[in-house]
Amino acid sequence: MEKTNRTITALLTSVGLSNIGEWIYFIALNMIILSNGGNAFSVGLLYIIRPIADLLTNISFNAYIDQLHKKKWMVLLSFFRAFLVGILILNQELWIIYMVVFFIQACSSIYDPLSLGFVKLAIPKDKIKKFNSWKSVVSSGGFLIGPAIAGILLSVGTPLIAIIVNVVALFLAGVIQLSLPDYSGRRVKELNKRSLLLDNKKALLYLKDFYKNHHRMVYLYFFISSLTVLAAGLDSVEAAFSINVLMMSEQEYGLLVSIAGAGFVTGAILNSFIVEKLTIKQMIIFGSIVYVSGYLVFSTSSGFEVARIGFFLLSFALAFINTGFLTFIQIVFPENRIGQLTTAFNTINSVLQMIVVAAVSGLGSFISIRLVLIATELFMVGIVFLIIRHSNIMEVDHPVIVKE
């Protein structure tokens, strides 16, 4: 029990440091790009590079992600991200910034499925749900604290200071991860052209068999994750809708973002207190309904007063969706395949996200933004009905576990 508690504390602390650092550095990057003569398109490229990095990394590592030594790679990736951000201390040219963002996101694409598998190994099954709820609390804290620290650092210094703080935060996260228990993992064998082709072929065959035997579970996975994919499209026109359609001032829009942060924190804290009384099914269905309702309130609002209610609701619901979804994945997916399955599914999600963002932002440039928002959200309503329809897979708190 004591070992488990130490592991939970170390994991949550490293997550908090990483999240705070990521917010600080990403906000600082926006300022650096603009101060170096960049424009809105230059900043927008940051948001295009990230799903591209996800896509390429997931394709490259899908067959091998579960063969990596989880603790060692988590530590190495944390230190490497600190090194990558540190490059910006010496050189802040645009192409260097884009390169750093690409490789940092690539590191995250490897780190996330590894951490899912590590949690499945390190945390007892009856504590995973509670752990994920506290992870949401820590992440929500980073959502508020990170931008706040970035704002203070930028007001009293330069973006360079914010970059240095992020390097320190990522380095400390790696140091803390060194204290995690060491679980043996299958090593990656020596790679050559033949083994790459053979292993990728085996991975594809496994994915095909998994879909054949557990297609309803795959559908449910994509229904839940598609809410985030569609939300990315809505986020791409959110600022334009708020300022150009709802006629908000920049100060009001800034307050709207702060309200979203408050909603996220409130939902995460409430969820952490009642998580043991809720099933996975209840968390996901409740979160999905409130999430989509929040977006609908926002898109049909006529001004700041109503829009802030919508923003609070959709952010509030995220903690329930995230906790339920992560717990569902960690309980039902086999430990030695959890990375392969999530990277494969996330590869598809990355492609869909790029398509959705391009479609929503493109249509929003030619027709009514409000109409585009409402149409997208009605599609999300349909997704929620599909989640409810397939939710009997999560009927009990511990669904049937997928076997190898």
Range of the domain at 72: 1-186
Tell me the one-letter amino acid at 277: K
With 0.75 as the threshold, say if the pTM is over it: yes
Instruction: Check whether residue 79 and residue 204 sit in a common domain.
Output: no
Same domain flag for 254 and 344: yes
State the total domains in the chain: 2
With bands split at pLDDT 50, 70 and 90, how would you rate the model's confidence at 397? very low
User: Does the pLDDT value for residue 293 go beyond 90?
Assistant: yes
**Residue that finishes a domain, picked among 141, 171, 186:** 186
pLDDT attached to residue 313: 93
Question: Which residue, of 160, 186, 212, is where some domain finishes?
Answer: 186
- The answer on 265 and 132 residing in a single domain is no
| Long-range own/partner contacts, residues 300-305 (CB < 8 A, 24 or more apart) | 300/370, 300/374, 301/246, 302/246, 303/246, 303/247, 303/248, 304/246, 304/248, 304/252, 304/255, 304/256
State the Cα–Cα distance between residues 267 and 319, nearest whole angstrom: 6
- Top pLDDT among 342 and 47 is at 342
Residue 137 shares a structural domain with residue 169? yes
How many beta carbons lie within 10 A of that of residue 334, not counting itself? 16
Within 8 A by CB and 6+ apart from 359, the residues are 233
- Domain CATH for 294: 1.20.1250.20
Q: Distance between CA 271 and CA 265 in Å, rounded?
A: 10
Q: How far is CA 172 from CA 23, 29, 135, 163, in A?
A: 16, 21, 18, 14
Q: Which of 227-231, 339-343, 383-387 has the lowest mean pLDDT?
A: 339-343
